[in-house]
Amino acid sequence: SRLAGVGKLSAGAAHEINQPLNVIRMVAYNLRRSIEKGTLETETALAKLQRIDEQIDRAARLVGGMKAFSPTSKQDHCTIDPSEAVATALELLAKRFGAAEVALEYHPTDKRVALQSPPTAIQEVVAHVVDNTLEAYGPVAEVDPFASNKTVIERKLTITEVVSDGRFTLCFEDGAGGMETEFLAKAAEPFVTADETAGHAGLGLTICRDLITSMDGEFLLEPVEGGLRVTVSLPVTQASAS
């Protein structure tokens, strides 16, 4: 399942990483030209070097996020910022949202907290849940503009972070049709999938549940009108000073 995740994310990750690389190339070219012309000013050079540093940090963050999908990645618990992990995962997945024509509505918490987690577990949970959502929406249906009874379904995933009572809660809510009650009850069990094309092993939600449980957290699936809500709740170990 992790290797399948790598395949789905690789194109998007390459696109996202190319952006900071292109900025670095452009800034380096401008610096070189200024040096050759003898017009380089110290203040300008420092500003451009700062921009290069920022882009290097962004690329490093994206590469680090990809480690979540390596089956050989070290998964010892450490102190992480869950909001930062979620943001990194969504940055890696940005191209997939665009390709599926699904809008992302992300509401991060403004409270900085820390929790104990395998270093890439949060990214992995986000990627699996997002993958399930995009697959549930399916391909974009063509709508006849002249049809009198046309129905347009809003393709959207809302992700909300809440910090309250010593817990970090991450909530995913979509309008992709949801699941039947009987199927929902076993959706997180191994090899359970609604994909009839055999394109999924049926392990994504199982991995999410097991990762969250290993962190003394709670993983909940529940129906909402027209869709599904996935809630992850984890104990906070400390609140940052900010």
Of the two residues 153 and 12, the one the predictor is more confident about is: 153
**Residue 82: per-residue pLDDT:** 94
Is the pLDDT assigned to residue 14 strictly greater than 60? yes
**Residue 188: per-residue pLDDT:** 63
- Name the residue among 238, 17, 7, 230 with its Cα closest to residue 130: 230
Average pLDDT (178-205) is 63
pTM listed for this prediction:
0.69
24-68: pLDDT as tens digits = 999 999 999 999 999 989 998 999 999 899 888 878 877 766 665
**Residue 202: per-residue pLDDT:** 59
Residue partners of 107: CB distance under 8 A and separation at least 6: 158, 159, 160, 161
Cα atoms in the 13 Å half-sphere on the side-chain side of 226: 8
Long-range (24+ apart) CB contacts under 8 A made by 94-100 are: 94/12, 94/16, 95/11, 95/12, 95/15, 95/16, 96/8, 96/9, 96/12, 96/130, 96/131, 96/134, 97/130, 97/134, 97/157, 100/134, 100/137, 100/140, 100/155
CA 42 from centroid of its chain's CA atoms? 39
Distance CA(77)–CA(65), nearest Å, equals: 16
User: How many Cβ atoms from other residues are within 10 Å of residue 221's Cβ?
Assistant: 19
Distance CA(108)–CA(162), nearest Å, equals: 8
Is the pLDDT assigned to residue 166 strictly greater than 50? yes
Our CA angle for 195, 201, 206, nearest 5°, is 105
User: Is residue 88 packed enough to be buried (19+ CB in 10 Å), middle (13-18) or exposed (0-12)?
Assistant: buried
**Residue 20: per-residue pLDDT:** 84
Is the pLDDT assigned to residue 161 strictly greater than 90? yes
Is the pLDDT assigned to residue 167 strictly greater than 90? yes
Look at the alpha carbons of 77, 114, 125, 220 in this order and tell me if their dihedral is positive or negative: positive
**Residue 157: per-residue pLDDT:** 95
Distance CA(136)–CA(175), nearest Å, equals: 9
What mean pLDDT, rounded, does the chain reach? 81
**Residue 234: per-residue pLDDT:** 95
**What percentage of residues in the chain have a pLDDT greater than 70?**
74
Average pLDDT (221-235) is 92
**If pLDDT is split at 50, 70 and 90, which confidence band does 241 have?**
very low
Is the pLDDT assigned to residue 198 strictly greater than 50? no
